Amino acid sequence: MLPAWMIDQVKKRKDEDAALPVYDDPRSHPNDNRDRDDDNDRDEVLNCGSGGGGQPQPPPAPDPQLEAKAQMDLEDHRAKLQADALAVEDKKKADKLAQDKIDFQGRVGGAYGLAKDYGTSKLRTMGINDDYGIMSAYENALNKAKGNIPDLDPSPGTYLGTDLWENTVGDIRTQNRNKLTRGYETEVPTDFANTYIPDTADDALIESIIGGQYNEASDYIKRAKDRGTLNDVGYGTASTALANQRAGAIARGNELGLGVLETGRTGLKDIDKQARQGITNWDFGTEFDPGTWSGKIKAGANTFTGGLEGKLRNAFGSTEFFDPESFIAKGGKAQGAINPGATALQDAISEEEKRRTAGSVGAF
């Protein structure tokens, strides 16, 4: 450890040196009378004494407390110098960071402006009025993306690319198509084909058509009784067989009728497909009216059901739902033979009846 008095001298010397101006070459300043022989000064300090014989006096005995204080003062002085240097460096860093942030914000602002101009240009190219809120949604997307740019990122424009515009337009297009779909499905029931053309749409017509054939068959059997071909027993048996077959005839008619109804439903489903394709193809600037398409479906259903009787008769064609000859034969079997020549006479009468009724039975 250095003596306290020596530490004081060193510290004092450093303070004096720090206070003096600094020159590149002392020889270029002749008026500077400062003694630059630092080594001689130090020698003088070390060689100073009380005189006598030229022998230096020994230095005073060191004071531990003074030496400790001097050492602490020296350390404090060094720490202050270091702290001052760090403060200068920290200020430089802070100044640089502040400038970097200013530059970063400038880059972000520039990138944002370019991105917004891109959207404006694209909207103008689309040639539509912004009735869909496209630019507002795009600016919201830009602001959100800008908020996610990492601080001091050197390339903020990469976070504000053209995909933001394309995604925004795509989202709004999808939203409008979904809105049109909801409006259309509000107008058109989910099971619209069966709703507008129900299974019961042809019930009355089938009852009428089959009822007509039933009455003809019943009259045919009654004429056989009037001719004497059937007695009361035979007539009752034939009439009962005819009545029993009515339910089966209705069931068969309904089965054929369902095929006819399905053709009408297919037509309505074709209109529905066209409507939904229109929604799928919808784009900005085009029109789609759900009410127009629901009106077409309803009109199609009304047209079909209005001509349903003719369609059913065409579908039935020459179908005979009742066979009166078989009923008469069953009645004849039940009653037994009426007279020896009855069979030949019955055959002749049957042929005549067939000839007369051929133009009415099963012709629609």
pLDDT mean for each 10 residues of the chain (364 residues): 58 59 51 51 49 64 84 89 91 91 94 96 94 96 96 94 96 96 93 96 96 95 94 95 94 95 97 97 94 96 96 92 93 72 47 47 38
pLDDT of residue 64: 87
Sign (positive or negative) of CA dihedral 46, 50, 56, 61: negative
Same domain, 202 and 338: yes
Q: Do residues 144 and 277 share a domain?
A: no
For residue 86, tell me if it sits in a domain. Answer: no
Answer yes or no: do 176 and 250 share one domain.
no
Tell me if 77 sits within 8 A of 18, measured CB to CB.
no
Q: Are 239 and 172 found together in one domain? A: no
**Max Cα–Cα distance, the chain, nearest Å:** 193
End of a domain among 163, 187, 211?
Answer: 187
| Domain match, 229 and 320 both | yes
Rounded Cα–Cα distance for residues 278 and 291 (Å): 13
Is 5 among the domain residues?
Answer: no
pTM (two decimals): 0.62
The predicted structure's pLDDT at residue 363: 38
**Same domain flag for 243 and 350:** yes
Q: What residue spans of the chain are helical by DSSP H?
A: 4-19, 38-47, 64-126, 134-147, 163-187, 192-196, 203-226, 232-280, 290-306, 308-316, 324-335, 342-357
Rounded to a whole number of angstroms, the CA Rg of the chain reads 58
**Co-location of 229 and 348 in the same domain:** yes
Query: Are residue 209 and residue 285 in the same domain, yes or no?
Result: yes
Same domain for 230 and 323? Answer: yes
Examine the fold and report which residue of 162, 187, 212 is the final residue of a domain before the chain moves on.
187
Structural domain containing residue 334: 192-357
Provide the pLDDT for residue 10.
56
Specify the pLDDT at position 273: 97
321 and 197: one domain? yes
Distances in Å between the alpha carbon of 272 and those of 5, 101, 263, 279, 292?
A: 108, 59, 14, 11, 11
Determine the pLDDT at residue 14: 59
Q: Are residues 230 and 328 in the same domain?
A: yes
